[in-house]
Structure formats: structure tokens, C-alpha cells
């Protein structure tokens, strides 16, 4: 069993605000990433949650894809 697999099972350490609090950060985070902006330190707990929660990680990837798709449409 790899350390990565063990992290998936046991979760990574660090402050984890949970799914509901994570939803408050997801939009701002996706805008920053989509525009190539640096992600501030205050997102550290949110990023810990993404590492630990597959559903929120997937939703973040989905929102990021939607933001990028919208900007691609706009650029056409």
C-alpha cells in the first residue's frame, strides 16, 4: 500500500473545514486558478479539504472546467 493510498484512506493532516465551509471558497479559488493568479495562504484549509474529500475535489474540477469553457466561448 503506497503512502498516497494510505493518505486517501486516512486523510491528510491539517485543519479541514469540511464540505459546507469549503463551498464558500470554491468559486473564488476557481476564478484565481482559471486566471493564473496565485492562491493566497488563506485557502490552505480549503486545499486540505480538497485533498481529503473526493466529491469536493471533483466539484472544484467541474467548476473550473465550467469557468474555462465560459471564457473560451467568450474569446471566440
Partner 1 sequence: MKFDSDPNLTTDWPRELRGEGAPRDDAIARLHALLVRVARGEAVRRRASLPARGAEEVDDLCVQAANDALMAILSKLDTYRGAARFTTWACKFVIFEVSTRLRRYAWRERSVELDETIWDRLSDQAPPALKRIEDDQLIQALHCAVEAHLTERQRLIFQSVTMDDVPIDVLAERLGTTRGAIYKTLHDARAKLRRALTDAGYADQRND
Smallest separation, CB 41 to partner 1 (Å): 16
Beta carbon nearer to partner 1, 44 or 66:
66
Residues at the contact surface with partner 1, assessed by CB under 8 A: 1-2, 5-6, 8-11, 13, 16, 18-20, 23, 26-28, 30-31, 52-55, 58-59, 62-63, 65-67, 69-71, 73-75
Smallest separation, CB 47 to partner 1 (Å): 16
Q: What is the 3-state secondary structure (H, E, C) of the chain?
A: CCHHHHHHHHCCCCCCCHHHHHHHHHHHHHHHHHCCCCCCHHHHHHHHHHHHCHHHHHHHHHHHHHHHHHHHHHHC
Amino acid at each position: 500500500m503506497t503512502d498516497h493510498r494510505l493518505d486517501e484512506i486516512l486523510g491528510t493532516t491539517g485543519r479541514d473545514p469540511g464540505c459546507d465551509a469549503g463551498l464558500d471558497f470554491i468559486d473564488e479559488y476557481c476564478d484565481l486558478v482559471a486566471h493564473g493568479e496565485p492562491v493566497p495562504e488563506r485557502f490552505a484549509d480549503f486545499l486540505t479539504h480538497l485533498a481529503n474529500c473526493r466529491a469536493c475535489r471533483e466539484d472544484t474540477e467541474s467548476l473550473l472546467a465550467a469557468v474555462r469553457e465560459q471564457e473560451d466561448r467568450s474569446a471566440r
